[in-house]
Structure 1
Amino acid sequence: MHTRRKIPKVFHVLKFMLLGALFLTALGLGVRELWNCLIPDLFHGPVITFWQALGLCLLGKLLFGWHGGGSSRWGVGAKEQWRKKMKARMEHMTDEEKEKLRERFKRCMPDRYNRWRDNDDWNEGTKDTQTKPETNL
């Protein structure tokens, strides 16, 4: 039977630290080179150093957010996630609570909500040809 040699955890930690440092170095050098090749010529901006390039990357992350993974709040599929969440929430509501929520939507988003729900001109042409019942929030 072949036994696998166990590598101490310290070496794994050191490996990931080295890979992280290598990634940050490549990122800083890449941003610095792109900046120094483009910005001074196009906009007469300053030439930056490696550390300033890393600072720009950090500033960009602080301003525009981190990579939220697969469940980003406003990313791909956010509308569908919101719709599923609202549907599950409304299944447990009484008719009175649902009506209060509809009124709240009308108050908070009058243009967006009324465009599809209450505008008679909008729904006038589709009332006779509709094949399935409307589902309201």
Structure 2
Amino acid sequence: MKNLFYKGRFIFIPIAAAAFISAISFVVMQLWNHLLPDILHVATITFWQAMGIFILCKILFGFGHKGGRGWGGRGGAPWMRAKMEERFKTMTPEQKEKFKQKMRDRANCGPWGRHEHPFNRDWDQFDTEAPKATQE
């Protein structure tokens, strides 16, 4: 019985994938044909054009990430977060502070290097500026 399941999945998985893509293409076609001609004055599309649009969008915009968060999401990948938590537990307080400072600096720099922004100043120190001279 187990061997029959393994042989059957090689037939079932491609059929299920084709059915899924067909269903999504039908939904794309229906949405396009019922919304866009009235809104943007474009022509209606066929099923195969809808499938092409769907596949093109997947190629251009990606296939999504597990959990919808991706690398840039809060916390990153769960395995990476667990690894960092374990590493953070073994650090000394000095190492923790150094790590936190490095992460703060990285967040302020961006990927292209350190650059000062006018709003990065310490606004509590405004009294150190010289008073402006008034003209009489």
Is the TM-score greater than 0.5?
A: yes
Aligned CA distance change for structure 1 residues 72 and 57 (closer, same or farther; 3 Å): same
Q: Identity over aligned residues, as a percent?
A: 29
The Cα of 1:35 is off from its aligned counterpart by 0.3
Structure 1 segments (4+ residues) deviating >3 Å: 104-107
The Cα of 1:53 is off from its aligned counterpart by 0.6
Q: Look up the match of 2:92.
A: none
1:120 aligns with 2:126: no
The Cα of 1:13 is off from its aligned counterpart by 1.5
Aligned CA distance change for structure 1 residues 105 and 30 (closer, same or farther; 3 Å): closer
Query: Aligned partners of 1:20, 1:12: CA distance in 2, in Å?
Result: 12
Q: If the length of structure 1 is used for normalisation, what is the TM-score?
A: 0.58
Q: Look up the match of 1:58.
A: 55
Equivalent position SS for 2:117: helix
Q: Look up the match of 1:48.
A: 45
Q: Which of 102, 110, 114 is the aligned partner of 2:116? A: 110
Q: Look up the match of 1:133.
A: none
The Cα of 1:73 is off from its aligned counterpart by 2.2
Equivalent position SS for 1:108: coil
The Cα of 1:68 is off from its aligned counterpart by 2.1
- Unaligned 5+ residue runs, structure 1? 126-137
1:13 aligns with 2:10: yes
Q: What amino acid does structure 2 have at the position aligned with 1:23?
A: F
Once the two structures are superposed, residues 45-80 of structure 1 have per-residue CA deviations (whole angstroms, 9 ceiling, x without a partner) of 0111111111111121122222122461223x1xx4
Q: Which of 54, 70, 73 is the aligned partner of 2:71? A: 73
Q: If the length of structure 2 is used for normalisation, what is the TM-score?
A: 0.58
Q: Which of 34, 38, 56 is the aligned partner of 2:31? A: 34
Query: Aligned partners of 1:24, 1:62: CA distance in 2, in Å?
Result: 14
* Count of aligned residue pairs for this structure pair: 104
The Cα of 1:120 is off from its aligned counterpart by 2.8
